[in-house]
Structure 1
């Protein structure tokens, strides 16, 4: 590290202090980079909730006027405490190089499971 060598050689900082600064910098980088990496992961629950009642038909939503840099994510039915509840649509900031894959209910065995929407390359 050029700055570290300059500071150490000029006597402005001790070698021990320089090591502590480097360890701190590594911790800060890890604290920032790990969540960013995980944010791009699509994680499906290990045991998704299987709902034995088919979801109602989607509601017709009036899609607002397009916003530059955003994509409209349509509303959907969520399963909450034994009943379907409508989750209205919302805007998501565009991710360059990706496209939005909408979430959907999928038939699974004798029931239905929710497959989360996600960004895909």
Structure 2
């Protein structure tokens, strides 16, 4: 009976998480992130890849740059929603980027860094 309960709990938690849904991980740090860096993408490794911009991530009490990289979208029509930062009373929150079914219309690098 215990095995059935554990198996059922694991199955329920797996089914509750969408395969390609939005995953937002918030991390709080007291100081604002530095300005974004422009990185010229290296040559595309193969057709179908998308350049995912670099961004600042907190490491301890400081910001560290995570370099951009070429990624293959996980499904046809996927759009990359870039990470972003929000300021709240307890500090700066970082929300990780994710692949989405929707085009959020936020193509900052496409329009401003050519």
Question: Scaled by the length of structure 2, what TM-score is found?
Answer: 0.63
Structure 1 residue 41: Cα displacement: 2.8
Q: 1-side partners of 2:60 and 2:90: how far apart? A: 19
More relative contact order, 1 or 2 (CA 8 Å, 6+ apart)? 2
Q: 1-side partners of 2:95 and 2:65: how far apart? A: 16
Q: 1-side partners of 2:67 and 2:31: how far apart? A: 21
Q: 1-side partners of 2:71 and 2:62: how far apart? A: 26
Structure 2: any 5+ residue segments left out of the alignment?
A: 1-10, 102-114
1:81 aligns with 2:81: no
Aligned length: 86
Structure ID, larger Rg: 1
Please, what is the CA RMSD of the aligned residues?
2.3
Higher share of residues assigned helix: 1
Q: 1-side partners of 2:19 and 2:87: how far apart? A: 27
- Matched position secondary structure for 1:49: strand
1:98 aligns with 2:78: yes
